[in-house]
Amino acid sequence: MRVSEIRDRIVELSHASTGDGEVQAKALGWLNAAYGELMNELMPYMPAALQVQEQLVTNTAGVAVVAREIYRAVRVVERNGGGVLEVVVPEVILAADPLGNATGNPVRCVVRGREVQVHPAAEVPLSVLYVPAVQELLENGEEAAVLLPASHHSALVWGGLVWSSLFERGFGGSGEMGVYRRQWEEAKQRVKLALLGNAGEALRVKPFELV
């Protein structure tokens, strides 16, 4: 299903007017909320299929910027012989170097958005293997923009209805909301089982992508 077809199905089942531009815009938001929820849950099931590797060099402040926002860093390697860097939270670096004046070869790094910052700061070549964050679906997106098997695109309809009920109609505890949520949870489970049974081909991306 194309993105607009999934959106229109959500609008239709939510009993709104399919020709209402404002409703369509809201429905695209509901769809993206469901898509983000589902893809976040699927990441642990299929990390290898989503990995991207980039070769880059940090600046003098020890920062390198990758092409896409990082959902999870799999491995960061300092290519001048420094080996694999430990990915840590900023508090670890602050504890190890409270004055921020450490020197020497980088041994750890922090990942924020698209940035990878090594510590101690140095201008070094890196190899960054990561799972990129999923991009929002656009209204004119083709079927291939949805990183799910086409047979499971309908799952997003139920998710969109759950989010529409939460945001627009306040149906958090209603019977209708209960039906939507039950269908959504069952649909998500079917997708996960399908991906586990077809790990090499499940998502609409190459198993390994070099940028």
Residue-wise pLDDT tens digits, 47-88: 677 789 999 999 999 999 999 999 889 999 999 988 999 999
Residue 210 domain flag = no
**DSSP-based helix, strand, coil % in the chain, nearest 5:** 40, 20, 40
Domain shared by 56 and 111, yes or no: yes
Residues 42 and 52 in one domain: no
10 domain residue, yes or no? yes
Q: Are residues 148 and 176 in the same domain?
A: yes
In this prediction, residue 18 has a pLDDT band, given cuts at 50, 70 and 90, of low
Q: What's the pTM? A: 0.69
Assess whether 57 and 117 both reside in one domain: yes
Q: In what order do the strands lie in the sheet with 125-132?
A: 63-65, 115-119, 108-112, 83-87, 70-78, 125-132, 52-57, 209-210
State which H helix or E strand residue 96 sits in: helix 90-96
Residue range(s) defining the domain that contains residue 127: 48-132
Domain boundary among the residues 116, 132, 148 is at 132
> Mapping DSSP to helix (H, G, I), strand (E, B) and coil, where does residue 117 land?
strand
Specify the number of domains making up the chain: 2
102 and 173 co-located in one domain = no
Same domain, 115 and 146: no
The answer to whether the peptide bond before residue 132 is cis (omega within 30 degrees of 0) is no
pLDDT band at 207 (very low <50, low <70, confident <90, very high): very low
Verify that 23 and 91 share a domain, yes or no. no
**Whose CA is closest to 108, among 129, 81, 90, 125?**
90
Same domain? 140 vs 199: yes
Other CB atoms within 10 Å distance of the CB of residue 70: 20
More confident residue, 89 or 71: 89
Residues 54 and 114 in one domain: yes
Contacts of residue 135, Cβ cutoff 8 Å, sequence gap at least 6: none
